Amino acid sequence: MNRRRNIAARSGVVLLCGLLLSGFTGNPLSALGAEYGGAGPAAMGIPASMSTITAGQVGDVKPVNKEKSAKPVADPVPQIIREVSPSVVGIIGKASGGSSGPDDRYNLTHGSGIIVKADGWIITNAHVMKGLQNAVVVTSDGTSYNITNTYLDEVSDLALIKIKGKALKPAKFASASAAIQVGEKVIAIGTPISFSLRNSATVGVVSGLNRSVDAAYRLIQSDTAINPGNSGGPLVNMKGEVLGINSLKYAAVGVENMGFSIPADTVQYIMSQLLKYGEVRRPSLGVELEESWSAIVGLPTQDPLTVTKVVTAEARKAGIAEGDVLYAIDGHRVTSLVDINEWFKQYKPGAVVKLLMQNDGDIVARSLVLGQGDPLVSTEGAEEDADEQAEE
């Protein structure tokens, strides 16, 4: 309609032809005359020479066959699955502590993984690899490989493993700055339920972002079908990029399509350290913190966190005491434990941070040298405390 209005402003004749070609039949001008109360061409100022104009005489304006011009848009999902599947593997082995007996050979557990380097490095979930014995990786073409190296990070639930592969196809991860939108279509690929169902694909949408659900870092929520065995497999966008690694789901009567994935930026953060150090060297506050009631139940809140225990000597040296309240780290407001974990991705052990705290009702600034270990509790500090108590 906008096109017709613009044309109408320039020429009533073109408007006439446009209207007639889109539906009127019979004599063109009689139709127009009827619309204007029966007035003839001369009454409306149309030259007599135009009184017999037909569709074939109108310059570039031609009828449009909408049925022929409308072409169906191909669904990109099958092509994306074909492109990404060679980067997805199945992982199977025997769970530690399993029963023994004549059927022990069937007492296996499995998961999924993503090839991240052509020479055989694969990222998966820590809970897939923890306690897995005699594990084997099977690629999409059916080739089996033994695992030569395994690095676990249970805080993030990520693991990096190595096989002796060559010329494998690494997956492409979405950049950390990629804008993920709630409602955009995504694909989950993995090995659900049975190892014979390798490279199964399910399609859904992103249901939510920045979810804090039984995890140290924020997760992506989607409604793609994620079942046991999908853990470690990719959540892929419509560009064929990995948005995250499928990690967990809610499974209960009345609960449907509630799956969660570790975002690509968290995966890259953990993976880079595992490749470099064989472990994740996180900075630590050296204290135990308690979230507010509002934060625990998921209500929007600006309530601070409360120090329940001072673990390390560095934290005590900074003047932090039990009962203190933590508002911000280097000017960044924190209201949950996940907030601190996410914020600390940009810090290294040994860095000095400024803490805005409350002590006995007074707002104070503390300067703290970050230790290494769990972001909230330093393992080394805890061991030192245990040694001190033993000596006492």
Task: Just list the catalytic residues.
Answer: 127, 157, 231
Q: Per residue in 303-332, is it b (16+ CB within 10 Å) or e — as a string? A: ebbbbeebbbebbeebbbeeebbbbbbeee
Q: Is residue 41 within 8 Å of 50, Cβ to Cβ?
A: yes
Listed residue (216, 386, 213, 391) closest to 309, CA to CA: 386
**Measured in whole angstroms, how far is the alpha carbon of residue 103 from the centre of its chain?**
39
Structure tokens at 242: 């990995």
CA-to-CA separations, 153 to 113, 123, 274, in angstroms, rounded:
15, 11, 8
